[in-house]
Structure 1
Amino acid sequence: MLDNWHDGIVADLAQEIICGKTPSTKKAEYYGGDTPFITIPDMHGCVYNVKTERYLSQRGVKSQPKKTLPPNSVCVSCIGTAGLITLVSEKSQTNQQINSIIPKEGISPYYIYLLMQTKSEIINKLGQSGSTIVNLNKTQFGKIKIIIPSLNIMQKFNDICSPLFEKILLNQKENIRLAVLRDGLLPKLMSGELDISNIDI
């Protein structure tokens, strides 16, 4: 191993690893607010979680405050469809199928995100343990072996990646805004409510 890299485990990168939890679905007042509640279907085909199927109310969030993730936490699915990786775009919570890494100070979330991408197949295989159901718990997840660069290299890597990931996040948010605009305008165009025949293109 080079002097500026060393062997380690996932837990070495984390201020904390949080396994999510689902607030009681019997309490309707826990849902319908503004805090994203990330589940596996929300993790497909995206770098950042910018939209979720369900949202938690303030009461839902307060029912399990230790499960709240700050922006740029790294979510990794570890049960069912294991090995999906996304970044958190705003304060969020997840269900119990997801382990999330809150990076230590000085550790680039982008390094963790890309590193976890390379470990996706390993995460899936580790969870199988001879069973058809993939279930990799928080302790096992934290012990996955990795290599870690020096803080100097980590900082340089972060400086390069940060503007690129910020652009990705902005593009994802803009795509959602445009999709909402399209979905609002298209029915009006189809029904004739909006007349664009006199627009000079």
Structure 2
Amino acid sequence: MLDLLKSSAKNLYLKHEKNIQEKLPSGWRWVSIGEIADMVCRGIAPKYSLESDEIILGQTCIRNNLILTENGRSHAPKKLTDKWLRKYDLLINSTGVGSLGRTAQVWFEPSKLVVDSHVTIVRATDKKNALYLGSWAFEHERYIESLHTGSTGQTELPRDRVKAIRVVLPDAGTLDEFNAIAEPSVKMIVANQEENKRLIEIRDTLLPKLMSGEIDVSKVDLMQLTNNH
């Protein structure tokens, strides 16, 4: 599903990026991220607390273009903030060699979820542009990484450089066609992530009992289980 999402977006922008002098189709245009985003900013400084129901995500939570909420930590908020994540926010790791440039997008309805100050939030003004922008970013991580400042070990991705990134934006009709493919795809990806989490929880619950002998599998009829499935 993720590969389908990337390839669908690539079919729209790739030939225009290869020849930036080429005239764009009617209704298409080159835009900077700053022109199409309400928010381009870093997250907040963490204040960890086991008693909070707010979760803060760091750079380890952004991997393979997916958000790993299980890697987040409880965080005590100082106040309500518009930096609480929203659906379709694009997240960009913005500090350090090896992490800087990795991207992911919020494809679920988040609740009391924030990122720390090592991650940049990009919030599209028009949600119609959001999934396309996210898919574009997934395929341009090396380019995003190249925009860093500083030396090895001290690299940072400045907000102004993110805002200045230029993207070819299709017309409204083309974006509607893309979103008709993208929206079901991301729903399925999220569903698969949730199912994987449930399976891991079941494994982590059962494995210690199996190892300790609390659950006796010696009398399980494997043939019957096979036939049932």
The unaligned stretches of length 5 or more in structure 2 are 1-23, 223-229
Kept in 1, the 8 Å contact 2:65–2:138? The answer is no
Identity of aligned residues (%): 23
CA contact (8 A) 1:78 1:123 kept: no
Aligned counterpart for 2:82 among listed residues 56, 66, 76 = 66
Is contact 2:104-2:138 (8 Å) kept?
no
In 2, Cα distance between equivalents of 1:120 and 1:17: 17
Residue identity in the other structure for 1:19:
R
CA contact (8 A) 1:40 1:97 kept: yes
Matches within 5 A, 1:151-166: 151-166=172-187
**2:54 aligned counterpart, secondary structure:** strand
Partner of 2:95: 79
For 1:77, the aligned partner's letter is N
Query: Secondary structure of 1:17's match?
Result: strand
The 10-residue stretch of structure 1 (39-48 or 151-160) with the greater mean CA deviation from structure 2: 39-48
Task: Give, as a single letter, the amino acid of the residue that structure 2 aligns with 1:183.
Answer: D
- 1:8 is aligned to 2:31: yes
Matches within 5 A, 1:45-56: 45-56=64-75
Q: What TM-score, normalized to structure 1? A: 0.86
SS at structure 1 position matched to 2:77: helix
Residues 4 and 149, structure 1, Cα contact 8 Å, conserved in 2 = yes
- 5 Å-filtered alignment, 1:1-201, equals 1-24=24-47, 28=49, 31-56=50-75, 60-63=76-79, 65-80=81-96, 81-88=99-106, 89=108, 90-91=110-111, 92-128=113-149, 131-132=151-152, 133-201=154-222
Question: Which aligned segments of 4 or more residues in structure 1 are displaced greater than 3 angstroms?
Answer: none
Structure 1 residue 173, shift from structure 2 partner: 1.2
AA aligned to 1:152 is G
More strand by share: 1
Q: Distance in 2 between matches of 1:186 and 1:143?
A: 50
State the AA in 1 paired with 2:117. Q
Q: What is the alpha-carbon distance in structure 2 between the residues aligned to residue 148 and residue 171 of structure 1?
A: 30
Q: Which amino acid aligns with 2:205?
A: G
Distance 1:44 1:32, change over 3 A: farther
Query: Aligned partners of 1:152 and 1:8: how far apart in 2?
Result: 17
Unaligned runs of 5+ in 1: none
Corresponding residue for residue 15 of structure 2: none
